Amino acid sequence: MSSHGTPIPMTSRKAAPLKGVAEVPGDKSISHRSLILGAMAVGETKITGLLEGEDVLDTAKAMRALGAEVVQHGPGDWSVHGVGVGGFAEPEDVIDCGNSGTGVRLIMGAVATHPFAVTFTGDASLRSRPMGRVTEPLSLFGTVSYGRTGGRLPLTMVGAESPVPVSYATPVPSAQVKSAVLLAGLNAPGITVVTEKEATRDHTERMLAGFGAEVTVEDTEEGRVISLKGQPELTPQVVAVPRDPSSAAFPVCAALIVPGSDVLVPGIGLNPTRAGLFTTLREMGADLTYENEREEGGEPVADLRAKFSPDMKGIEVPAERAASMIDEYPVLSVVAAFAEGTTMCPGVKELRVKESDRIDAMAVGLRACGVEIDEGEDWFAIKGLGAEGVPGGARAEARLDHRIAMSFLICGMAAKEPVSVDDAGPIATSFPIFMELMGGLGAQLDRVNA
Ligand code: S3P
Question: Alpha-carbon distance 182 to 214, whole Å?
Answer: 12
Number of domains in the chain: 2
% of residues, the chain, pLDDT over 70:
99
For residues 90-110, give the mean pLDDT.
98
Inside any domain, residue 218: yes
Inside any domain, residue 229: yes
Domain housing 271: 10-26+242-447
Whole-number Å distance, alpha carbon 174 to ligand 1 midpoint, is: 6
Question: Alpha-carbon distance 311 to 323, whole Å?
Answer: 27
Inside any domain, residue 5: no
**Nearest residue CA, atom 16 of ligand 1?**
174
Q: What is the pLDDT of residue 296?
A: 84
Inside any domain, residue 345: yes
Q: What is the pLDDT of residue 126?
A: 98
Is the confidence at residue 319, as pLDDT, over 90? Answer: yes
Q: Which residue has the higher pLDDT, 70 or 299?
A: 70
For residues 130-143, give the mean pLDDT.
98
Question: Terminal CA-to-CA distance of the chain, rounded, Å?
Answer: 12
Distance from the Cα of residue 277 to its chain's centroid: 13
Q: What is the pLDDT of residue 298?
A: 76
For residues 148-158, give the mean pLDDT.
95
Per the prediction, the chain carries an average pLDDT of 97
Q: What is the pLDDT of residue 233?
A: 97
Cα dihedral value 386, 377, 281, 261, nearest 10: 50
Tens of pLDDT, residue by residue over 161-178, are 999 999 999 999 999 999
pLDDT band of residue 150 (cuts 50, 70, 90) is confident
For residues 288-308, give the mean pLDDT.
93
Q: What is the pLDDT of residue 450?
A: 67
Is the confidence at residue 275, as pLDDT, over 60? Answer: yes
Q: Does residue 123 sit in the same domain as residue 210?
A: yes
Q: Does residue 358 sit in the same domain as residue 296?
A: yes
Question: Alpha-carbon distance 126 to 348, whole Å?
Answer: 20
Adjacent-strand bridge partners of 268: 243, 302
Q: Is 405 exposed, middle or buried (0-12, 13-18, 19+ CB in 10 A)?
A: buried
Q: Does residue 304 sit in the same domain as residue 185?
A: no
Tens of pLDDT, residue by residue over 168-208, are 999 999 999 999 999 999 999 999 999 999 999 999 999 99
Tens of pLDDT, residue by residue over 412-445, are 999 999 999 999 999 999 999 999 999 999 999 9
Inside any domain, residue 379: yes
Q: Does residue 94 sit in the same domain as residue 222?
A: yes
Q: Does residue 224 sit in the same domain as residue 285?
A: no
Cβ(439)–Cβ(59) under 8 Å? no
Inside any domain, residue 112: yes
Instruction: Enumerate residues lining ligand 1, CB below 6 A.
Output: 29, 102, 174-176, 179, 201, 326-327, 350
Distance from the Cα of residue 104 to its chain's centroid: 13
Q: Of 216, 240, 264, which marks where a domain is finished?
A: 240
Inside any domain, residue 66: yes
Q: Which helix (H) or strand (E) holds 374?
A: strand 372-376
Q: Does residue 258 sit in the same domain as residue 396?
A: yes
Q: Does residue 362 sit in the same domain as residue 300?
A: yes
Q: Does residue 45 sit in the same domain as residue 102?
A: yes
**Nearest residue CA, atom 5 of ligand 1?**
102
Q: Does residue 349 sit in the same domain as residue 388?
A: yes
For the chain, the residue count is 450
Q: Of 240, 272, 293, which marks where a domain is finished?
A: 240
Question: Alpha-carbon distance 301 to 349, whole Å?
Answer: 29
Pick from 179, 326, 430 the residue to mutate for probing ligand 1's pocket: most ligand atoms within 8 Å of its CB. 326
Is the confidence at residue 4, as pLDDT, over 80? Answer: no
Inside any domain, residue 376: yes
Question: Alpha-carbon distance 186 to 287, whole Å?
Answer: 44
φ, ψ of residue 396 in degrees (nearest 5): -100, 150
Q: Does residue 100 sit in the same domain as residue 206?
A: yes
DSSP assignment of 386-410 equals -TT---EEEEE--TT-HHHHHHHHH
CATH number at residue 229: 3.65.10.10
pLDDT band of residue 293 (cuts 50, 70, 90) is very high
Q: Of 212, 240, 268, which marks where a domain is finished?
A: 240
β-pairing, 379-385 vs 95-96, is: unpaired
Q: Does residue 311 sit in the same domain as residue 222?
A: no
Tens of pLDDT, residue by residue over 362-401, are 999 999 999 999 999 999 999 999 999 999 999 999 999 9
Residues sharing a CB contact under 8 Å with residue 341, sequence separation 6 or more, in sequence order = 313, 314, 383, 384
Q: Does residue 228 sit in the same domain as residue 362?
A: no
Whole-number Å distance, alpha carbon 273 to ligand 1 midpoint, is: 11
**Is the pTM higher than 0.95?**
yes
Residues sharing a CB contact under 8 Å with residue 19, sequence separation 6 or more, in sequence order = 261, 262, 263, 441, 442
Is the confidence at residue 151, as pLDDT, over 70? Answer: yes
Q: What is the pLDDT of residue 299?
A: 81
For residues 258-265, give the mean pLDDT.
98
